[in-house]
Amino acid sequence: MDRKLRYAWWFVLVGLVILAIWKLFLPHGTYAYVQKADSSREIVVYVAGAVEKSGLVHLAPDARLDDALKQVQLLPEANLESMNPAERLKDGQKITVPRKAVVISPDLALAGNSSDPGGVGSVPVVSSAPVGVPVSEGGKININTAGAAELDKLSGIGPALAERIIQYRAEHGLFAKAEDLQNVSGIGPKTFEKMASQVTVGP
C-alpha cells in the first residue's frame, strides 16, 4: 500500500514538472516564432503609369500607398491629387499613377519666326500638342490629346469610359489608329461604331 502511494505521489510530481515546463517555455517559443514569421512576411505590388520605370515594389504587410510611391521615381507630370496616400495595399495589387492634363493656349502652339544672320529666310517652328489638349480636324476629337471633358462628348462615352481611355493611354502610350479604342475595356465594336466618325489620332 505504501509503495502504491509513493508511486502515485511520484506520478503527480512528474506531471506538475511537465506542466510547469510547458507553461514556462513553450508559449514564449511559440510567440517568438510567430513574431519572426510576421517580420519576414512582405507584399509585392506593381507600380506603373507616370513613373520613371514601371516595376515590382516589395513592402511590409501593413504598407500604405504612400510607402510604395516613396520607392519609385515619379515623373514631373505625375498627378497625385487623385490618389489616396493612406490607402492600404494588398499583395499582387497594381498601382497606376495618372498623369496631369496639360492645357496651354493655342497661341503657344506656334513659336515665333527666326531669321538666320545671313537673311536667307525664316522658318516657323511648330510645337507638338501636349497631352490634355484636344486637337480637332474637321470637327473630330483627337483621342491622343483630348482630356476627360472632351472624350465625354463622344457618342457612347460617359465619364467612366473617358477616364478608362486616359488611363489606357497613360499605360500603353498613344493610339496608333482610331480603331485601337476597342482595346479599352468597355468599348466594343458597337460602341466604337457610334463614335468612329467623331474621332482621330492626329491633326
What CATH code is carried by the domain that includes residue 196?
Answer: 1.10.150.310
Q: Which domain holds residue 87?
A: 43-97
Question: Which among 78, 97, 116 is the end of a domain?
Answer: 97
pLDDT of residue 157: 86
Quote the number of domains for the chain. 2
Residue 106 domain-assigned (yes or no): no
Domain contains 115: no
Looking at the fold, whether 83 and 142 belong to one and the same domain comes out as no
pLDDT in tens, 10-23: 777 787 878 777 67
For residue 162, tell me if it sits in a domain: yes
Residue 102 maps to a domain: no
* Torsion over CA: 185, 191, 194, 197 (sign): positive
pTM, 2 dp: 0.39
Is residue 140 domain-shared with residue 92, that is, in the same domain?
Answer: no
Tens-digit pLDDT profile for residues 41-72: 899 999 998 888 889 999 999 999 999 999 99
Strands 94-97 and 43-49, by their bridges, are parallel
Q: Do 85 and 136 sit in the same domain of this protein?
A: no
Q: 117 in a domain, yes or no?
A: no
